[in-house]
Structure 1
Amino acid sequence: MNSSPPPPPAAVSSVIAPLSSLPDFDPRLVPVVGVDTHLPAVPLQDQTPGALRARFAHPPQWEPEVVMEKRFMNREPAHASVLLAIIQREQPMVLLTERTAHLSTHSGQVAFPGGRADPEDATPARTALREAQEEVGLAPEFVDVLGSLPTYVTGSSFIITPVVALVRPDCVLTPNPYEVADLFEVPLAFVLDPANHRRHVFDRDGIHREWFSMPFQDGEKTHYIWGATAGMLRNFYRFMMAG
């Protein structure tokens, strides 16, 4: 971890919806223990559509940094997929959602479009495309799937396959209001720069958890990217820097 003093945690109003189903736990209030400013960012020339296609066509040897969270929910494991959608704007952007507060799992959190696999889904990519269409209205004809990253197991027992894809900038998005409270985009360069990756450690009542956060300021609103979403983005960074 970087030895430089971490910035203080941002103040959080009590009226903001909780970002965890765990009682008396708000990840935004857990201090930052390190920021990886010592690690290099992925060069911009490696973030172009051509460079991304080439990397997935000939992937390097690498190991994901984050593969499994500490389990906090006693449920049967379930397979799921998410779409790490990179919209090909002049500045490439990653599509993210904020889940509605009433959902049974990960309510109110920042997430990729995606969800649980159905028996008729032939591949993880099919799950990701179907769920993205149902959740944010992203039609498959706008999507060019590049490949997948290793699975990520959440504390709620979901075995998630992140499917990475390029998305045409003329795509039409119509979020499902039942599942999506907000839809926004974050620059790809932001999530591929470890200077924006903050480390957290939580110890209480015998529970030890570690995670990344990547808070993104969008005008007056801060989108708090953390947990599984931040972990998969961290793995994407490691994949892009490998070799």
Structure 2
Amino acid sequence: MQDSQKADPRHTGLMETVVAALDRSGADTSDFDLNPDLILPAGRKLRPAAVLVGFIDRGNGPHVVLTKRSSRLKHHPGQIAFPGGKVDEGDADVTATALREAWEEVGLRVDQVEVFGQLPPHETVTSFTVTPILGRIRDDFVAKPEPGEVEEVFEVPLSHLADPANYVVQQRIWAGKPRPYFTVPWGPYYIWGATARMLRGLAERMAD
């Protein structure tokens, strides 16, 4: 690794805080956290899914790898998301799902990831229960977006995402009523919804 790529010692504690946060208790998260009066349909079926919350060191501290979904997709076009998707029958577990999806979407090989934990599942408005899998990504990773699904792969400093003060509550009309949700903007990227809520859940644990 070149000198310019060496980790800044001021940032090394962030990843230690992430690992320690996994042992702390915290509330489960969902797309409905800010809608306490919402009554969900009885008997709804939740489908299992998983995403990879991947941390990569870029010299000036750890970053989180995110994707911008293709604008041609039928569901959630152009939105910011972690690499991930629904659990397939052939997946051994949710970790296998997250790693498979990361390979398919951004070209991240399994041997380039060191998985070190997971967060509690997050319930989405689209009836998925999504398990965030946390892992360190080797710094030789070069993104190869799958053009049918991913428009762009980018990275956001963990220092930005770990600060609860950077999260803003906004709202849209959903099912005829206002629905508040978290956002955590970064440059030109509008990170919101389930992705922002899962990140804020991690930030809350890190801040405890």
Query: TM-score normalised to the size of structure 1?
Result: 0.71
The Cα shift of 1:157 comes to 1.1
Kept after mapping to 2: 8 A contact 1:213/1:226: yes
Letter in 2 for 1:82: V
Cα distance in structure 2, aligned partners of 1:129 and 1:94 = 15
Please show how residues 77-226 of structure 1 align to structure 2 within 5 Å: 77-90=46-59, 91-202=61-172, 206-217=176-187, 222-226=188-192
Kept after mapping to 1: 8 A contact 2:31/2:194: no
The Cα shift of 1:206 comes to 4.0
Letter in 1 for 2:53: L
Please show how residues 26-41 of structure 1 align to structure 2 within 5 Å: none
Q: Could you say what the CA RMSD is over the residues aligned between the two structures, in angstroms? A: 2.3
Letter in 2 for 1:143: V
Letter in 1 for 2:14: Q
Letter in 1 for 2:134: V
Cα distance in structure 1, aligned partners of 2:123 and 2:47 = 10
Deviation string, structure 1 residues 7-64 (Cα, Å, up to 9, x no partner): xxxxxxxxxxxxxxxxxxxxxxxxxxxxxxxxxxxx955413x4444544xx022224
| Secondary structure at 1:86 match in 2 | strand
Kept after mapping to 1: 8 A contact 2:31/2:197: no
Cα distance in structure 1, aligned partners of 2:174 and 2:47 = 28
Letter in 1 for 2:72: H
Match of 2:25 among 54, 61, 74: 61
The Cα shift of 1:205 comes to 7.2
Cα distance in structure 1, aligned partners of 2:17 and 2:175 = 47
Query: TM-score normalised to the size of structure 2?
Result: 0.83
Task: Structure 2: give runs of 5+ residues left out of the alignment.
Answer: 1-9, 33-37
Kept after mapping to 1: 8 A contact 2:94/2:131: yes
Cα distance in structure 1, aligned partners of 2:64 and 2:53 = 7
Report the equivalent of 1:235: 201
Report the equivalent of 1:47: 14
Kept after mapping to 2: 8 A contact 1:45/1:51: no
Across the two proteins, how many residue pairs are aligned to each other?
190
Cα distance in structure 2, aligned partners of 1:228 and 1:68 = 6
